[in-house]
Structure 1
């Protein structure tokens, strides 16, 4: 059952909920507009690019991207110089973008809930492991780089 507690599973759950909201919400709450479709597409694209850049940077530094595993390196370069969690930020962008593309503005409420869940279940434990392993380097990184953006 440990495979269930992975960020992509939580993202998939949030996306299913957003899609259901888009199907069940009253028509009066819809804000169908081409600009929102474009914005949604841009958010999804930005999320995917951010995730790919982060994965490439982690691979370059030969460290794991799998939660709950011990990191071999503290990655602070590339997209990690702007966000300590670019992959999770990419997930949140994808969720927000698809909520807009599916014309479900109410589903945007899922974005902060998703971010809070990811923070509690994954980010805080990951940061504890990094803090113990990389001590002063991780403390300096946290001073310079925000958790999300």
Structure 2
């Protein structure tokens, strides 16, 4: 489940922040504001996605068969708003906790999301919704 992977990445970032290898820092208290904004934006994206999926009466749980191809609301802008939200939360907390050494966790986390969740989900959607999914992928990007 993606929340488990997010929790693991956050745990590693937090632990690196406690350990402080190389004594690196972003350089001041100002970094808390953009970090908090990223966390907030990530949570808003996730909420908008869940609300839209509930309206369409389809599952939000990865690896389950979707009843509908959701293309409205936030899904007009990104095909993966929940995963994008997870990534923003990770990036925001890395900034907020002032742990620059944890920044490489972000692309690793994105890679894990794509391989373990996004690609299999897209395969199921492509198989079930065929031409509709193809048109959707042409007009809406995977991330942003």
By the TM > 0.5 criterion, same fold?
yes
Aligned twin of 1:102: 97
Contiguous gaps of at least 5 residues in structure 2: none
> Per-residue CA shift, 1:85-125, capped at 9, x if unaligned?
00000000000000001100111110110010010000000
**Pairs within 5 Å for 1:87-98:** 87-98=82-93
Structure 2: distance between partners of 1:17 and 1:28: 16
Q: How does 1:62-101 map to 2 (within 5 A)?
A: 62-101=57-96
CA RMSD of aligned residues (A): 1.0
Aligned to 1:21: 16
Show structure 1 runs of 5+ residues with no match. Answer: 1-5
SS in 2 for 1:128: helix
* Structure 1 position 125 matched with structure 2 position 120: yes
Give me the whole-angstrom Cα distance separating, in 2, the residues matched to 1:127 and 1:30: 38
1:32-51 alignment to 2 at 5 Å? 32-51=27-46
Is 1:53 aligned with 2:82? no
| 1:28 CA displacement | 3.6
Whole-angstrom distance in 2 between the partners of 1:73 and 1:121: 21
SS at match of 2:103: helix
Q: How many correspondences in the alignment?
A: 144
TM value normalised by structure 1: 0.93
| CA distance in 2 between partners of 1:26 and 1:133 (Å) | 48
